[in-house]
Chain A
Amino acid sequence: MAEFGDSVLEDLSASDQHTSFSMSRATADADKRKMRRIIAEDPDWSLAIVPYLRIICLQHIIDNFEKNPILDELPPADKVKVLEKLSTKLPISVTANLISDEGYWRRCSVERWGRRDVSYYGNSWRRMFLECHLESAIELFIPNTTDPNVILDKVPFYKNYVKKISVSQLLPPVKSSENRQKEDTLLAVGDGASEELSVSHFDFGMLLDKMTELEELHLVYGVRGCRMNFEWSLFEFTEQDCQSLAKALKSCKHLKVFRLHQSKVNDENVQTLCSSFLEHPSLRELDFSHNIIGERGARAIGKLLNSSKLEVLSLYDNKIKGHGAQAIAYALSRNENLTTLNLRLNRIGDEGGQCVANALLKNSTLINLHLGSNELTEPTANFLSRVLMQNKTLKSINLSCNRLGLDGGKQLQEGMAHNSSLVEFDLRLTEVGQESEYFISQILQRNKETAHRTPL
């Protein structure tokens, strides 16, 4: 207390200058305003020229919050005032744990990141601010040049609040030391030397084992906005990266969602990652969209399906063919957790389509199935019509951009005639014929109505 009092006194003497300055400014204003008694246009104007000691003290606390944070000791009314005027530039190390007021964090977030949908962050402005803060730190991290402690020092402040890390770029390391100010220029400069680079990206191993509350991890091993400085090496997901990421993921026990997009993940990488996810206690969603996963990768994923609690699997835009689909279908026929399967833009063909349809005859948990743009044709439609007749859990099937043909459409129509659970059935660009499409849409309408009514 004595210390606090001393400091306040000190600061008071220091702030004397400030007040005197404000007074001088006030007198200047007064001169300017020709001795007006009331200045209506100035909302802060007050008859009292000298502010109250209380207000001065509060102002002082606000000014010196970084050095001497006093908040919880204040009475509620003063606390509100302090929070209203507190600077948003204060370091997280001071504010993260101390300030729980959403208003303050909102101000910080809006000021720094602009307006974002807070509902993505569990309606918590603090979480939003801190997550964004961490993400930006990771995105701007340059291996071997940036000090990892910049991030690691702040982990204790992040770890209680950050639940999701959504990284949209990871910078590759840089050899040339001449230019490290900007990535673009850096990349431009490192053009020639990129061939020799084999050093990995940001090592998540050192971060993830400390982030105990983390639930979602979205990663893209690539560079955003490279423009004309394009270099294949910028989008490289190296062996080393894969190893370190797999290790890190194994240590992260609360993870629920893992997404790895557009990172040239190949079969070997998938195998490594899947082996790390085997028997993971909490993983629910796995997304390897826009990669180059092939047969072996699909096989590894199929293996993973039945040794985890995965509910959503997305392998959109990969290179899985009939055999890979077969492996996944085999896993699907025994699975009891998976609800959504997305195999859009693959090349599973009729072979894989038939396998998936056969698996669906046995499966009773899958709800959404996307088989768009998979080079499926009439035989798959034939199998799927049987699925439609038997399966009661499927609600949505997407078969767009597959040349099923008129006969396939008729078969599906036949199958749909016996179905009462399906709500969505996308048959765009499948050349099934208007008649079948109309008939199926009618049945879908009917199913929708019943689905709407039954919960009522």
Chain B
Amino acid sequence: MSRSNSPLEDGVEENAPPSLESEIQEERIAARRLRIAARVQARKRETEGQHDTHHQEVTKELSRSQKQREQSRRRLNKLQSDGTELVTNIQVAVDARESQRRTEEAEAKRQRTEKLENEAKTSLEKFEDIRKKWASAKAKEIPQDLRDALNMQQRHCAQLIEEKSKIINELQQELKVQDDKYVKDLKRQAEDVDLMIERMEEQIKNLMKCYREELTQIEKAFELERRELLHSNYKKWEQTMQHRREKEMEYLTMRMKQVEDQAQQLQQLRVQDAEEYNMIKIKLETDVQILEQQLQHMKATFQLNQEKLEYNFQVLKKRDEENTITKSQQKRRITRLQDVLNNLRIKLKKQEKQFKEESHTLSEDCKRIMKQYQDMQKKMMYFASIDAKRFHEMWIMNEEEIKGLVKKALDANLIIHEQQLGMTYVRPNLPFMKSTGPIIPQHTKKKLTEVLAKQFLTAGQKITGDEEGVEESVSAGAQGESHQSKEQGQLEASYPENPDNLLPQISPKTMKKLLEIMCDECDFLVESKLLKLFSTLEKHEQSLMKLDSIFMALGVENEADVYKLADFLIKYSEQQIAENKKEDEEDGQIDEGKSQSYVSISSVEAAEGSSSMIERSTTTDLIHPNDVLKALKVYTEHYCKPREKHPLPSFINYEERDDSEDAAFWEAMANVIPESTQRVWSALETELEKYYKILTERSDLITETEGLKQQNTELRMLLHQYINSRVNAELEIPPTQVMQIDQR
């Protein structure tokens, strides 16, 4: 601002006082000094002003230090240029003076040379004059004239010389003046040099001062700026630090919280893990134990299996060997059997023919047997009616007898009540006393067969051990049966009354066997559902149930049927065997003289046959399991048809008669005297018994007292006898005394 104006001021100042260019040195110096002082003053003011405005210019584009530097630089440049100007001013002035002097000198020199030339010219003219006059002087002959001329000449010469010397003097004067001038110049130059030195020193001083000032200014500016910067930075730092501290605290608290949480979690986890670990450990340990056990077990099984397998292997090896052998055998046998097959085919043709004949004959037989069967039915009907009649009679007879007994019992009861107990007795109402004849039950007799089967089976089981108990067991079975029939008395009689009289012929053992075979073979007759149900039962019961269902299917309903069936089966088997034998014989006849293999087969068959024979011999007759079906088929053909026809209803009535009601009937008969009465009776009986016992005791005691009385008397007699004997006296201590002591 003011700085920009300064050059103007300077310029004005520099040129304003004319003294600057004046010849007087002091004046110029003074003027310059004033100017410098003014400048310094202005500068100081400026810097102070700057200082004041320093704080306001913070927001300016340039930083303070830069500004200060720029300022200082300008100022110093200015100062320096001014200073150099000041110093060189002298030089310039001297130069100017020098050039002035030179021009002056040149002028003076020119004038001088001109003057000298003029003078030389004039003097030369004069000299010529003088020389010319020398010639005229020679010409003069008059001594006075000559003397005059010589004097003239002398005067002219002297004048010339004087002129010359005058010029010389002038020049010498001038030289002196020049010398003086030179000395003056020298002095002046010395002064100038001194001044210059002074100025230079002053300049140096000034510059140094200014430099120092500026340096301090710059330093101050820098310092201030630095301080401000420091301050701002410190503030910033503080702020950020505060921020950071806060954040840190926050973070710390957060972290502590987190740590706590995590510690808790950790603890929880630890506990959980420990628990889990324990659990797992226990579990695993148990698992390990179990696995070890399993391992042991497996090892054992492995061992076992190994052994087994080894054994099996051995066996299989053996078998393989056997198989190879048997294979070869089989091959051989196949060839042989081929032969046999051929034979058998031939035989088959033969037999077919034979069977045709046989069937023919058998159909005839069948017709005949049918006829016989019809006859037999007729007979049966007859016998049935007779049996019914006899049963009726028997029933009536027994009823009468039992009625009598009831009456007797009631009478006895009456007597007991009235006489013994002294109570009034009301005769109970007995409806069955009025009815006569067998009661007609409504039941089927299904259970009968079951019971039968059971009897046989149980009996058979018992019997299997010893053959001797057969009779007894049969009788026992008979007894079981008789229990059912409630005819105790007619135990023996029941057998002959059996329609077929088959029972004695078939031993219980065979019966059992037969039943077992049937049970095994006729599974198909049993319903599949039932079979399933049976599978849970015991084998015995299972077979029982099966038999029951089989019998039902076959239509076997009573004991007789069972026996009939058994008999039929035995017969059938015998028949079959007989046929087989026949065939065998025929075969043997046909295949006589055949290969050895045939012999072996026949021998096997013979062995089979012999075994069956043996069985037969022991069990009298037994059907082959394979034939059971055929036999049963035949049996059903034979026996089921007539039953379906129901030719005799009375027979059927009889047949269907149920004696379950009979039992009740008879029970009612038996229970005419009720339980309480019976208890009364039994109590009475026991009391009477007691009474009787007491009575008998009493009678016994009476007889005993009688005996004792007799003995007493006898003993008195003996005692008397002993005491009175002499032996007593001889004894040291007579028993009499002892007796006396005892008495005492």
Which residues of A are interface residues toward B (Cβ below 8 A)?
Answer: 344-345, 347, 372-373, 375, 400-401, 426, 428-429, 434, 437-438, 441-442, 445, 448, 452
Contacts and interface: CB of A to CB of B under 8 A. Distances in A.
B727 interface: no
Contacts of A428: 85, 88-89, 92
B93 interface: yes
A429 B15 contact: no
Task: Give the size category of B's interface with A.
Answer: 10 to 19
A372 B21 CA distance: 17
Interface in B577-622: none
A401 B99 contact: yes
B7 interface: yes
Contacts of A372: 92, 95
22 contacts: A344-B95, A345-B98, A347-B102, A372-B92, A372-B95, A373-B95, A373-B98, A375-B103, A400-B92, A400-B95, A401-B92, A428-B89, A429-B93, A429-B96, A434-B11, A434-B12, A434-B15, A437-B15, A438-B7, A442-B7, A448-B77, A452-B73
B717 interface: no
Contacts of B103: 375
Given A428-B89, A429-B21, A373 B7 contact: no
Q: Which of B7, B12, B92 has the most CB of A within 10 A?
A: B92
B99 A373 contact: yes
Interface string B216-235: 00000000000000000000
A345 B11 contact: no
Contact of B7 (A344, A375, A400, A441): A441
A380 B561 CA distance: 181
Given A434-B11, A441-B7, 17 more contacts: A344-B95, A347-B102, A373-B95, A373-B96, A400-B95, A400-B96, A401-B95, A401-B96, A401-B99, A426-B88, A426-B92, A429-B21, A434-B15, A438-B7, A438-B11, A441-B11, A445-B7
Contacts of A429: 21, 92-93, 96
Nearest to A449: B74
Contacts of B85: 428
Contacts of A442: 7
Interface in B5-41: 7-8, 11-12, 15, 21
A210 B12 CA distance: 59
Nearest to A431: B21
A372 B97 CA distance: 12
Interface string B65-98: 0000000010001000000010011001101101
B95 A345 contact: yes
A345 B99 CA distance: 7
A448 B7 CA distance: 14
A437 B89 CA distance: 15
Contacts of A373: 95-96, 98-99
A193 to B, nearest CB: 25
B130 to A, nearest CB: 35
Given A428-B89, A429-B21, A448-B77, A437 B11 contact: yes
A261 to B, nearest CB: 16
B196 to A, nearest CB: 15
Nearest to B15: A434
Interface in B87-120: 88-89, 92-93, 95-96, 98-99, 102-103
Contacts of B98: 345, 373
Contacts of A400: 92, 95-96
B227 to A, nearest CB: 27
Contacts of B99: 345, 373, 375, 401
Nearest to B10: A441
B422 to A, nearest CB: 166
A372 B89 CA distance: 12
A163 to B, nearest CB: 28
A400 B93 CA distance: 9
B92 A438 contact: no
Contacts of A452: 73
A405 B95 CA distance: 18
Contacts of B89: 428
A375 B15 CA distance: 22
A441 B81 CA distance: 12
Nearest to A346: B99
Contacts of B77: 448
B70 to A, nearest CB: 9
Interface string B337-376: 0000000000000000000000000000000000000000
Nearest to B102: A347
The 10 A-B pairs of least Cβ separation, nearest first, read A401-B96, A438-B11, A373-B99, A373-B95, A434-B15, A400-B92, A428-B92, A401-B95, A429-B96, A429-B92
A364 B11 CA distance: 32
Contacts of A344: 95
Nearest to B95: A373
A153 to B, nearest CB: 40
A416 to B, nearest CB: 15
A22 B103 CA distance: 75
A337 B289 CA distance: 112
Given A428-B89, A429-B21, A448-B77, A438 B8 contact: yes
Nearest to A428: B92
Interface centre among B15, B21, B95 (most CB of A within 10 A): B95
B398 to A, nearest CB: 163
A375 B85 CA distance: 21
A431 to B, nearest CB: 9
Contacts of A445: 7
A347 B98 CA distance: 12
A344 B88 CA distance: 13
A373 B520 CA distance: 167
A373 B94 CA distance: 10
B545 to A, nearest CB: 130
Contacts of B102: 347
Contacts of B93: 429
Contacts of A434: 11-12, 15
A2 to B, nearest CB: 61
Interface in B137-151: none
A345 B92 CA distance: 10
Contacts of A437: 11, 15
A401 B92 CA distance: 7
A321 to B, nearest CB: 11
A437 B20 CA distance: 15
Contacts of B95: 344-345, 372-373, 400-401
Max chain B Cβ within 10 angstroms of own Cβ: one of A428, A429, A434: A428
A258 to B, nearest CB: 24
A448 B77 CA distance: 10
A347 B8 CA distance: 34
Contacts of B7: 438, 441-442, 445
B18 to A, nearest CB: 12
A401 B88 CA distance: 12
A448 B88 CA distance: 20
Nearest to B97: A401
A331 to B, nearest CB: 25
Contacts of B92: 372, 400-401, 426, 428-429
Nearest to A317: B98
A316 to B, nearest CB: 10
A419 to B, nearest CB: 17
Contacts of B88: 426, 428
A429 B92 CA distance: 8
A400 B77 CA distance: 21
Contacts of A345: 95, 98-99
A268 B1 CA distance: 59
A254 to B, nearest CB: 33
B37 to A, nearest CB: 21
A401 B12 CA distance: 20
A375 B100 CA distance: 10
Contacts of B15: 434, 437
Contacts of A426: 88, 92
Contacts of B21: 429
